[in-house]
A and B are shown apart, each in its own frame.
Chain A
Amino acid sequence: MVIIKDNKCDFCGCCVGVCPENCIELYEAKIEIIDEICTDCGKCVWACPFDVLELRVTKSKKGEIA
């Protein structure tokens, strides 16, 4: 799953633009990742300019190691 690190997000939307599952909700000053839809692909984590997101790899949703 993708973890949002505290207080670092600038709400820029770069992560939303690359998310293939369309599962990031970006408000004026809040972001949420809808965990049930997220596939742990990691794209949002790499796109983020501020190193806000972190992929915690347990087992990916599709049963493979991401």
Chain B
Amino acid sequence: MGFGKSFPEFDYYDIVVVGAGPSGTTAARFAALSGAKVLVLEKDRDVGYPVRCGEAVSHEGLVQFIEPNPKWIASTVKYFKLVAPDGTVIKPNLNGFGYILERRIFDYELAKLAANCGAEIVTKAYVNGLILNDGKVEGVKVLLNNSEQIEIRAKIVIGADGVESRVGRWAGLNTTCKLQDMESAAQMTLTNIDIEPDTCYFYFGEKVAPGGYLWIFPKGENTANVGLGIAGIYGRQRHALSYLEEFVEKRFPSASILTVIAGGVPCAKTADKIVTYGLMLVGDAARQVNPVSGGGIISGMIGGKIAGQIAGEAIKKNDLNLIFDYENEWRKTLGQRHERYYKIKQFIYKFSDEKLNEIARELSKIPYENLTLKNLFFTAVKTQPSLIIEVMKLFI
């Protein structure tokens, strides 16, 4: 027997999931729970690595899926500090808390949960095409271990292949992310730095991160993920990494750099179509990221759970048309809210530095107890009368 898994010539699964990130393994877990025969294919040799993520999640989001465990929690976060271009610091009242994860371990844990529910997981399995029959998806084409090209048939394929997703496009779904919506991101994990271990910092401004923001997310006492995203269109002048290098040299001159990664965050609204015959898309692949914050771990898992449950039902009831319900379920649960956030994003990322400073000055007058995120938003709007009209439009 070889090192990896070998597939018989006509192997057949109920559900094949492409990609073993949090959305894919969550979809697999919930599909397997309903008794379906599930296979997860991951192109990399390792689940959860490399980590291309700031690793921040909220407590409420997380506990829907897994009990928090110190094994994969680097920090507990209680405060946010938002820094305006002129240095004014705003400290909103979060009314909650969150975590900075160790995703390398967290993603493993999610994969183990899926496997414990009966899903099979295979790494070094690069999906490079779909088996299509009359517009219907009937399985995947896979390059195994960089050497063997095979086909695996399935009743339902779930595309969870992340920002670089192509699975949907192969089946005719338009998931290409617009350049202005793609946050081009770079992040360093730094150690030997002076930070507050319970506080996340966010920096805004044209000079720091045009069309995006810079983050400092603590990982323990003297270590942090320091990264930024710029809207793709600004990459025309200057690339994300050079903005980050400039900030780190200034702010953390004596840091040791543990790792540097590149990444893309599709800060768009969910793709118009995320289901077709035999295919569902989840997570970054479906563009299920929160378009304002760029957070996609929890929202992707929410998409994964809904898709997994519906796919499982469809198999159980032997009615594949049931998967079309997924689009609506997602819209009701989060999709519509993301559409609203998307509109908000479109005007907040257009603010000039002067406007941001003005808003920050206004906000800094509000005492901490009253500065909830909702209040913060409405004060920002009040400071900018033209925005009131824009915001009204969102609710009409």
Task: Spell out A's residues near B (CB within 8 Å).
Answer: 10, 12-20, 22, 25-28, 43, 45-51
B266 at the interface (CB under 8 A from A): yes
Asked if A47 and B241 sit within 8 Å, CB to CB, the answer is no
Query: Are A43 and B179 in contact (CB-based, < 8 A)?
Result: yes
Number of A-B contacts (CB under 8 A): 96
Contact partner of A50 (CB less than 8 A), chosen from B43, B164, B178, B241, is B241
Cα–Cα, bound, A50→B263 (Å): 9
- Nearest CB in chain A to that of B228: its residue: A49
Q: A12-B261, A19-B176 are in contact. List 18 more A-B contacts (CB 8 A).
A: A12-B163, A13-B162, A17-B177, A18-B177, A18-B178, A18-B264, A22-B169, A28-B45, A43-B179, A43-B232, A45-B235, A46-B235, A47-B179, A49-B241, A49-B262, A49-B263, A50-B239, A50-B241
Query: Are B232 and A28 closer than 8 Å at their CB atoms?
Result: no
Which residues in B have their C-beta under 8 angstroms from that of A50? 186, 239-241, 262
Measured CB to CB, the closest approach of chain A to B257, in angstroms, equals: 14
Residue of A at shortest CB range from B266? A17
> Is B185 interfacial (CB 8 A cutoff)?
yes
Instruction: Flag if A46 contacts B179 (CB, 8 Å).
Output: yes
Please report the C-alpha to C-alpha distance between residue A49 and residue B163 in the assembled complex, in whole angstroms.
14
Q: Is B52 an interface residue (CB 8 A)?
A: yes
**What is the CA–CA distance of A30 and B211 in the complex, to the nearest angstrom?**
29
CA distance A43 to B266 in the complex (A): 14
B202 at the binding interface (Cβ < 8 Å) = no
Contact A48 B177 (CB under 8 A): no
How many angstroms between the C-alpha atoms of A12 and B163 in the bound complex? Answer: 8
Assembled-state Cα–Cα distance A19/B182 (Å):
11
Min Cβ gap B18→A in Å is 13
Query: Which chain A residues lie closer than 8 Å to B262 at the CB level?
Result: 10, 12, 14, 48-50
> Nearest A residue to B42 by beta-carbon distance?
A28
Distance of B238 from chain A, by nearest CB (Å):
9
- Known: A12-B263, A17-B163, A20-B176. Contact between A49 and B43, CB under 8 A? no
Contact, CB under 8 Å: B165 / A17:
yes
* Beta-carbon contact of A13 and B43 below 8 Å: no
Measured CA separation A12–B284 after assembly (Å): 13
Whether the pair B52, A16 counts as a contact (CB closer than 8 A) is no
B221 within 8 A of A: no
Inter-chain CA distance A45–B260, complex, in Å, is 19
Interface assignment of B117: CB less than 8 Å from any CB of chain A: no
Could you say which residues of chain B place their CB within 8 Å of the CB of A17? 163-165, 176-177, 182, 264, 266
Closest to B284 in A: A17
Pair B126/A28 contact, Cβ less than 8 Å: yes
Q: Is B184 an interface residue (CB 8 A)?
A: yes
Give the residue name and chain of the B residue nearest to A29 (CB).
B44
Chain A residue, CB-CB nearest to B161: A13
Instruction: Output the nearest chain A residue to B166 by Cβ-Cβ distance.
Output: A22
Contact B43 A12 (CB under 8 A): no
Interface string of B168-183 (1 = CB under 8 A from A): 0110000011110010
